[in-house]
Chains A and B, each alone.
Chain A
């Protein structure tokens, strides 16, 4: 028979994986809920998932590609910026929904026990689904511009996705826990994401910083993700293993810090939220 012992303090390291497994269906249903509810009572429904990246791409192409003439390493600017956008939107959407997840489901937190980690991690799934939808347009664009991805992409793309997942989840875990206590987070997030867009090579190439300062840009794990995504998909630039390694390292670090803070504050969520 299962024995549970409740003590005043829990060790943050002892994540009960068996319990997480027991609640895997909750994870599934919460993600399903978010997917289903997301476009309920909207006139065009799921089409929003196509519109947002396409419209962003068009605007960026007009202003940064055509008017500002930003260097796109020889590739057509639309596909150049779109590769960046697909990963960027995945990241920013995952981050903002994960950060708000605990507060928006506070009634559940106050009334029932379940491993709290499930809430922010399931919201990231929704962002991932939008990412898949946006990627389908990318495939169409690759077909149109006749880009053939390198075979290595089959191996590297999942890694890039995982980096994005863990970066946004790590930051999301941290911010969602902070948000429980300090509702300021809600106002900071949109601003923070907007700032981060300019610190990430979405609209410009990664080499813009120059070799000397490239490492500063690489501190942002999304930088390495987008740079290498372009290298794989467009193929005009070489794969940058250095920035990839840094992205992996920093995303793991962010995830551990986020998880640590989350676990540390988790027991007080119901009292504070």
Chain B
């Protein structure tokens, strides 16, 4: 068996909170050194520290595409920064076999005054390409970015979309053995995102390149990565197949009780106290409970409620809407029941929106995560197929003897 391409042993990264301040003024240091009383007190030891990463161990084989998922602040970006040598780990050892390129941001080093052409070369060099490599791929890059006409225009005159396209085109033509990609696909329009994902997919399959890919887009993670590392608060929670890891990630996010308010709406003194789901069972109506308080001086009419339901790949698969004729003054419980959702067992999340006639007064994405349970009398066929991603209506059949 060949040696792993990336081997991380006991990686930890500690930050001193003081270090994250914008800067230290020399004045303070001089003032301190002039005060003999302070000579013997060590200021460093009083600083608060925290571990952005703690005891990270993993190894990745050649050609693997690994997703790195976790909620904000879990340490994903720090891990990428350590792997790409932007910052050094506090403890541990990493062995990388092959040329490494990292893409933590598209267009690093782009200079607004330079033309598109000049920036392609500059950015390529920043990413570690040689002049010859860039020249060789120049036409391909320009074609991919679709900016032929504006090559000799300074980048500051570009639209933001054009800039992103050009920057990503350069990055997409990198040819390292190991590629570390942060959430760079969050920018740019959907069509271009798809093109980039396609390009990455193509590149890995052809050349057996090793990729670590950070994203909050579970769809992208699931289509690109075979397995994932789930991080939470600087530690590895699990390393597993993508489907399992995504479930784990959703479970983690789920436990963070995001459904408890109160949430303010755009109408003064009208608040949503809580959102809760009850009866999350396959083939039974899905009931959403909203606790709302109307402290305005009149009853509210024509409130529209929209509940968007997302599957575990964070793709929207269903929208439940209701029109509430009147919400009188005071505190109320609102139950919205959706018949025949036919959501098979699995993990889901919802986004909630409220509107008054045509105007939106409240919207919160990914407000709540929940798990659909199988009913006791469930068709065992459905339980076994947890990867069903849309609705899965219960079926009936009839068999008739014809002769």
| Given A5-B93, A184-B25, A270-B86: A28 and B131 interface contact (C-beta under 8 Å) | yes
Instruction: Indicate if A198 sits at the interface (CB-CB under 8 A).
Output: no
Instruction: Indicate if B217 sits at the interface (CB-CB under 8 A).
Output: no
Least Cβ–Cβ distance between B162 and chain A, in angstroms: 20
Interface set, chain A 3-27, CB cutoff 8 A to B: 3-10, 22-23, 25-26
Residue of A nearest to B178 (CB): A4
**Structural contact, B95 and A26, CB atoms closer than 8 A:** no
Instruction: Indicate if A271 sits at the interface (CB-CB under 8 A).
Output: yes
Q: Map CB proximity to A onto B78-115 as digits: 1 under 8 Å, 0 otherwise.
A: 00011111111111111111111010110011010110
Residue of B nearest to A26 (CB): B125
**Structural contact, B93 and A6, CB atoms closer than 8 A:** yes
Least Cβ–Cβ distance between A172 and chain B, in angstroms: 18
**Structural contact, A3 and B108, CB atoms closer than 8 A:** no
**Structural contact, B128 and A3, CB atoms closer than 8 A:** no
- Chain B residues near A272 (CB-CB < 8 A): 19, 23
| Complex alpha-carbon distance, A41 and B154, angstroms | 11
Instruction: Indicate if B130 sits at the interface (CB-CB under 8 A).
Output: yes
- Chain A residues near B270 (CB-CB < 8 A): none
- Chain B residues near A10 (CB-CB < 8 A): 88
**Structural contact, B128 and A114, CB atoms closer than 8 A:** yes
- Chain B residues near A111 (CB-CB < 8 A): 86, 104-105, 108
Q: Map CB proximity to B onto A171-183 as digits: 1 under 8 Å, 0 otherwise.
A: 0000000000111
| Given A3-B95, A4-B100, A111-B105: A25 and B24 interface contact (C-beta under 8 Å) | no
**Structural contact, B121 and A29, CB atoms closer than 8 A:** yes
Least Cβ–Cβ distance between A60 and chain B, in angstroms: 32
**Structural contact, A112 and B86, CB atoms closer than 8 A:** yes
Q: Map CB proximity to A onto B5-36 as digits: 1 under 8 Å, 0 otherwise.
A: 00000000001000110011111010000000
Instruction: Indicate if A113 sits at the interface (CB-CB under 8 A).
Output: yes
- Chain A residues near B272 (CB-CB < 8 A): none
Instruction: Indicate if A207 sits at the interface (CB-CB under 8 A).
Output: no
Interface size class of B (residues with CB under 8 A): 35 or more
**Structural contact, B127 and A112, CB atoms closer than 8 A:** yes
| Given A8-B89, A37-B111: A181 and B23 interface contact (C-beta under 8 Å) | yes
**Structural contact, B125 and A270, CB atoms closer than 8 A:** no
Instruction: Indicate if B371 sits at the interface (CB-CB under 8 A).
Output: no
Number of cross-chain contacts by CB at 8 Å: 126
| Complex alpha-carbon distance, A33 and B99, angstroms | 26
**Structural contact, B109 and A112, CB atoms closer than 8 A:** yes
Residue of B nearest to A37 (CB): B113
**Structural contact, B97 and A2, CB atoms closer than 8 A:** yes
Instruction: Indicate if B177 sits at the interface (CB-CB under 8 A).
Output: yes
- Chain A residues near B109 (CB-CB < 8 A): 105, 107-108, 112
**Structural contact, B95 and A4, CB atoms closer than 8 A:** yes
| Complex alpha-carbon distance, A109 and B105, angstroms | 12
- Chain A residues near B177 (CB-CB < 8 A): 1
Instruction: Indicate if B122 sits at the interface (CB-CB under 8 A).
Output: yes
Number of interface residues of A (CB under 8 A): 42
Q: Looking at A7, A23, A29, which has the most chain B CB atoms within 10 Å of its CB?
A: A29
Instruction: Indicate if B118 sits at the interface (CB-CB under 8 A).
Output: yes
Instruction: Indicate if A110 sits at the interface (CB-CB under 8 A).
Output: yes
Instruction: Indicate if A136 sits at the interface (CB-CB under 8 A).
Output: no
| Complex alpha-carbon distance, A37 and B94, angstroms | 38
**Structural contact, A6 and B94, CB atoms closer than 8 A:** yes
Interface set, chain A 75-92, CB cutoff 8 A to B: none
| Complex alpha-carbon distance, A6 and B10, angstroms | 12
Residue of A nearest to B109 (CB): A108
- Chain A residues near B82 (CB-CB < 8 A): 6
Which residue of A5, A110, A113, A181 contacts B95 across the interface (Cβ within 8 Å)? A5
Instruction: Indicate if B267 sits at the interface (CB-CB under 8 A).
Output: no
Least Cβ–Cβ distance between A36 and chain B, in angstroms: 6
| Complex alpha-carbon distance, A33 and B114, angstroms | 8
| Complex alpha-carbon distance, A268 and B108, angstroms | 19
| Complex alpha-carbon distance, A110 and B105, angstroms | 10
Least Cβ–Cβ distance between B109 and chain A, in angstroms: 5
- Chain B residues near A105 (CB-CB < 8 A): 109
| Complex alpha-carbon distance, A32 and B85, angstroms | 26
**Structural contact, A183 and B23, CB atoms closer than 8 A:** yes
Q: Looking at A4, A111, A270, which has the most chain B CB atoms within 10 Å of its CB?
A: A111
Instruction: Indicate if A30 sits at the interface (CB-CB under 8 A).
Output: yes
- Chain A residues near B122 (CB-CB < 8 A): 29-30, 32-33
| Given A3-B97, A41-B113: A36 and B23 interface contact (C-beta under 8 Å) | no
- Chain B residues near A114 (CB-CB < 8 A): 126, 128
Least Cβ–Cβ distance between B290 and chain A, in angstroms: 43
**Structural contact, A33 and B84, CB atoms closer than 8 A:** no
- Chain B residues near A5 (CB-CB < 8 A): 93-96
- Chain A residues near B19 (CB-CB < 8 A): 268, 271-272
| Complex alpha-carbon distance, A6 and B95, angstroms | 6
Instruction: Indicate if A69 sits at the interface (CB-CB under 8 A).
Output: no
**Structural contact, A184 and B26, CB atoms closer than 8 A:** yes
Q: Map CB proximity to B onto A57-74 as digits: 1 under 8 Å, 0 otherwise.
A: 000000000000000000
| Complex alpha-carbon distance, A270 and B78, angstroms | 11
**Structural contact, A4 and B27, CB atoms closer than 8 A:** no
Interface set, chain A 29-66, CB cutoff 8 A to B: 29-30, 32-33, 36-37, 40-41
- Chain A residues near B121 (CB-CB < 8 A): 29
**Structural contact, A3 and B125, CB atoms closer than 8 A:** no
- Chain A residues near B128 (CB-CB < 8 A): 22-23, 26, 114
| Complex alpha-carbon distance, A1 and B82, angstroms | 21
Which residue of A6, A25, A112, A182 contacts B130 across the interface (Cβ within 8 Å)? A25
* Apart from A10-B88, A270-B87, 12 more pairs, CB < 8 Å: A2-B97, A4-B97, A6-B83, A8-B89, A29-B122, A33-B114, A107-B108, A112-B84, A112-B127, A113-B85, A272-B19, A272-B23
Q: List 5 A-B contacts (CB under 8 A).
A: A30-B125, A107-B109, A109-B86, A113-B102, A182-B25
Q: What 8 A-B pairs come out closest when comparing CB atoms?
A: A184-B26, A6-B94, A26-B125, A182-B26, A113-B85, A29-B125, A267-B88, A4-B96
Where the two chains meet, the residues of A that have a C-beta atom closer than 8 Å to any C-beta of B are: 1-10, 22-23, 25-26, 28-30, 32-33, 36-37, 40-41, 105, 107-114, 181-185, 267-268, 270-272
